[in-house]
Amino acid sequence: MTLGDWTVHAVESGYLWLDGGSMFGSVPKPLWSRTNPPDERNRIRLAMRCLLLVGHGRRVLVDVGLGDKLSEKLRDIYRVEDTPRLEQSLAALGLAPGDVTDVVLTHLHFDHAGGATARHAEGLRPRLPAARWYVQRRNWENAHAANLRERASYMPENYDALAEAGVLEFWDGPQQPWPGVEILTAEGHTRGQQLVRIEGGGRSVYFVADLIPTAAHVRIPYVMGYDMAAIETMQEKAALLARAVAEGGWICLEHDPETAFARPVAEGEDFGWAERVPASASTLAPSGTHGAG
Ligand SMILES: [Zn+2]
């Protein structure tokens, strides 16, 4: 997908399976299981899709998947699928890990930031060796004073080594770090989550992380049980979707196993999708023949 000076690629980094009830909060199972069928342990399959922005002399990655440091026990609990790895997906685009110049971490939950560090003989090191990393200060502070409900999702081994290596920068609130790139904040899922909007050539794409994790979550009341503040999520989601609809923008869905990008449309007081780009198509034709915008 091309937006002015930016080319945008979906970059897959494997899958994990999370409890379907937790993913859909108060939505009854007969509804969510139609689109997201659970396995024998009631888990649904979720992608860990990253977004790569190439332009202005930069190669910017948004989120990095869960990486390869999880224990066997947690790999079983989350039914982790390693294929494709982030390195494989970058290689398919002709990039080595050292080619990534910047990484925006939407938030520090393990399925978004676990891939930020890797174990080496000398200890934990940033996994993308040339990158600078960006997180909201509020989320960093939240991760280091994690409440009991979120504590299992915040693992210091995933991000403390970034600060120790001197490659982590903190952002306070909305930013415009590069031409056509806007950082938005959303507080309902976790405190200090940040989202990315890319604009160019009359088109826009939003990377919405856990604000709209799968295609089914386009419905305003479809809020994850994991969220800290359901009402805030609903307000933030409605505002973002209204803005995207008004400009004909696209949404990149980080966790949807089937759909990589979709274009929202208003449906009465709620929202739906006008158009979807399957994950396989976006992988095969990342430079965008999908007629976005
Ligand atoms: Zn999260």
d(CA 16, CA 80): 4
For ligand 1, the distance from its centroid to the CA atom of residue 4, given in whole angstroms, is: 30
For ligand 1, the distance from its centroid to the CA atom of residue 286, given in whole angstroms, is: 25
pLDDT of residue 280: 77
Write the pLDDT tens digit of every residue in 115-171.
999 999 999 999 999 999 999 999 999 999 988 889 889 999 999 999 999 999 999
For ligand 1, the distance from its centroid to the CA atom of residue 268, given in whole angstroms, is: 29
For ligand 1, the distance from its centroid to the CA atom of residue 202, given in whole angstroms, is: 30
For ligand 1, the distance from its centroid to the CA atom of residue 149, given in whole angstroms, is: 12
Q: What is the mean pLDDT of residues 209-234?
A: 97
> Is 281 a residue whose pLDDT tops 70?
no
> Is 241 a residue whose pLDDT tops 70?
yes
Q: Give the environment of ion ligand 1: residues with CB less than 5 A.
A: 109, 210
d(CA 139, CA 54): 26
> Is 289 a residue whose pLDDT tops 50?
no
d(CA 139, CA 145): 10
The pTM score is 0.94
For ligand 1, the distance from its centroid to the CA atom of residue 101, given in whole angstroms, is: 24
Three-class SS of 228-279: CCHHHHHHHHHHHHHHHHHHCCEEECCCCCCEEEEEEEEECCEEEEEEEEEH
Cis bond upstream, residue 264 (ω within 30): no
Q: What is the mean pLDDT of residues 194-209?
A: 97
- Provide the 3-class DSSP secondary structure of residue 37: coil
Q: Answer whether 196's CB lies under 8 Å from 62's CB.
A: yes
Cα torsion for 189, 212, 205, 276, to the nearest 10°? 170
For ligand 1, the distance from its centroid to the CA atom of residue 229, given in whole angstroms, is: 13
In 3D, which of 221, 275, 280 has the Cα closest to residue 244?
A: 275
